[in-house]
């Protein structure tokens, strides 16, 4: 049992710019991500001591552009083990911003716990003037320590906002307010110790999710459609034996005729194909810009291509046959 009167929060560090280091405090772009250890990140935030009692672990030290399925699986397993302990009330994961939305969605669908799981990150390295990591970390721990965060699925606390893992996406290469939840908006806010939720997540996640970490992952890749796109990429992926392809279509998941033909051929060879959009917001409607029923494709709804890939990976690993139901549900 946790004997402190404060909530006990596990902080799992994976690297990223929040743990980045530059030779000079004026540098916010030229730095090395994932080099500063979790103890140092925590030391930079003395105010944590009045919010939670912290258990810290260094799970990885990577630039999140190099995130892998093996690390996702290990991270999900570790989070679940910690949350099963009576003396842990919530988990915070420090992560790079580049693939944060993919990791968050993966955990949202695989971690079986009602306890809060909150990811955070930073756009400026820890050594920068006005580094954003320390306040983001304090806010993430504050959210994880809040009873209101329980049962909301995996959350992202960033720049005083609380986002759902399902909806959040990185929208800027440099701005400190880089994360947005297009169309649906934030779940709430965290500021000066106050956590306020203004809406909750309705789609199933965590304990209500039918997905789990797999022993073996299918190969699922993403291709884009654009002016003058050829079928070369799709044909190469099919020849390489991929099990799933997500297409980042133009507009409402529309595709160049060459890509459409190549994907139709891929479906006939048993490849599962999901139509998403490269636009960054909005729905991809079933039988909208392309006839999914005629092509045998699945429409991604509001999932962006990277999140659609996460869901397709999980669904194929679980041997789901009703993929459109899966995409309509999650
Ligand atoms: N490349 C970094 C990463 O994702 C970027 C960041 O964290 O902002 O690890």
Mean pLDDT, the chain, integer: 97
Give CA–CA dist 329/44, Å, rounded.
Answer: 41
The closest residue, in CA terms, to atom 1 on ligand 1 is 63
- The pLDDT value recorded for residue 287 is 97
Average pLDDT over residues 65-92: 98
Determine the residue of 14, 15, 19, 33 to mutate for testing ligand 1's pocket, defined as the one with the most ligand atoms within 8 A of the Cβ atom.
33
Q: What is the pLDDT of residues 272-288, one digit of tens each?
A: 999 999 999 999 999 99
> Is residue 101 within 6 Å of ligand 1 at its C-beta?
no
Residue 131 CB–ligand 1 contact under 6 Å: no
Sequence-distant (6+) residues with CB within 8 A of 121 are 16, 17, 18, 94, 95, 96, 97, 100, 133, 136, 158
Query: What six digits make up the tokens of 316?
Result: 């194929």
Spatial contact of 163 and 156, defined as CB atoms under 8 Å apart: yes
Question: Ligand 1 centre from 96 Cα, in Å?
Answer: 4
Average pLDDT over residues 244-256: 98
Establish whether 99 is a catalytic residue: no
Is pTM, for the whole model, over 0.95? Answer: yes
- Treating both helix axes as pointing N-terminal to C-terminal, what angle do 257-268 and 232-239 enclose, rounded to 10 degrees? 20
Measured CA to CA in angstroms, residue 186 lies from 24, 141, 202, 209, 277 at distances of: 34, 18, 14, 22, 21
Look up residue 301 and give its DSSP letter.
Answer: B
Look at the alpha carbons of 56, 57, 63, 66 in this order and tell me if their dihedral is positive or negative.
Answer: negative
Residue 155: the pLDDT is: 99
Are the CB atoms for 15 and 3 separated by under 8 Å? no
Q: Which of 34, 98, 128, 171 to mutate to test the pocket of ligand 1 (most atoms within 8 A of CB)?
A: 98
The confidence score (pLDDT) of residue 3 equals 59
- Out of 3, 14, 17, 260, which one is annotated catalytic? 17
| Domains (range + CATH), the chain | 8-208 (3.40.50.1170), 220-329 (3.40.50.40)
pLDDT band at 76 (very low <50, low <70, confident <90, very high): very high
In this prediction, residue 148 carries a pLDDT of 97
Predicted pLDDT at 311? 99
Instruction: Give pLDDT, residue 2.
Output: 64
94 lines ligand 1 (CB under 6 A): no
Instruction: Give yes or no for residue 239 having a pLDDT over 90.
Output: yes
CA distances from 235 to 226, 269, 274 (A): 16, 11, 16
65-79: average pLDDT? 98
Residues 6+ apart with CB under 8 A from 237: 221, 223, 245, 266, 271
Residue from 14, 15, 17 whose mutation best tests the ligand 1 pocket (most atoms within 8 A of CB): 17
- Res. 1 pLDDT band, cuts 50 70 90: low
Cβ 133 under 6 angstroms from ligand 1: no
Query: In the predicted model, what is the mean pLDDT of residues 280-303?
Result: 97
pLDDT tens by residue, 6-57: 999 999 999 999 999 999 999 999 999 999 999 999 999 999 999 999 999 9
**So what's the pLDDT on residue 4?**
76
Instruction: Please report which helix (H) or strand (E) contains residue 195, including its range.
Output: strand 194-197
Two tokens, residue 283: 């729905």
């Amino acid at each position: 049992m946790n004997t402190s009167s404060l909530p006990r929060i596990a902080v799992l560090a994976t690297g990223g710019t929040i743990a980045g280091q530059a030779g000079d405090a004026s540098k916010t772009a030229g730095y090395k991500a994932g080099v500063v250890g979790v103890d140092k990140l925590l030391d930079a935030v003395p105010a944590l001591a009045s919010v939670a009692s912290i258990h810290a672990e260094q799970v990885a030290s990577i630039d999140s552009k190099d995130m892998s399925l093996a690390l996702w699986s290990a991270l999900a397993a570790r989070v679940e083990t910690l949350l099963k302990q009576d003396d842990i009330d919530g988990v915070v994961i420090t992560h790079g911003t580049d693939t944060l939305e993919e990791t968050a969605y993966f955990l949202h669908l695989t971690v079986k716990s009602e306890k809060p799981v909150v990811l955070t990150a930073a756009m400026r390295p820890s050594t920068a003037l006005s580094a954003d990591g320390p306040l983001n970390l304090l806010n993430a721990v504050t959210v994880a320590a809040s009873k209101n965060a329980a049962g909301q699925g995996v959350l992202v606390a960033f720049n005083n906002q609380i986002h759902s893992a399902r909806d959040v996406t990185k929208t800027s290469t440099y701005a400190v307010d880089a994360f947005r939840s297009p169309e649906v908006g934030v779940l709430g806010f965290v500021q000066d110790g106050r956590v306020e939720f203004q809406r909750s997540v309705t789609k199933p996640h965590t304990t209500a999710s039918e997905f789990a970490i797999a022993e073996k992952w299918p190969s699922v890749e993403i291709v884009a459609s654009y002016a003058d796109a050829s079928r070369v990429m799709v044909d190469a992926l099919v020849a390489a034996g991929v099990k799933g392809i997500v297409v980042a279509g133009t507009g409402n998941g529309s595709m160049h005729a060459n890509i459409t033909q190549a994907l139709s051929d891929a479906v006939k060879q048993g490849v599962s194909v999901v139509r998403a959009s490269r636009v960054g917001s909005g729905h991809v409607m079933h039988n909208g810009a392309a006839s999914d029923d005629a092509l045998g494709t699945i429409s991604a709804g509001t999932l962006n291509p990277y999140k659609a890939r996460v869901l397709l990976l999980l669904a194929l690993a679980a041997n789901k046959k009703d993929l459109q139901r899966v995409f309509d549900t999650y």
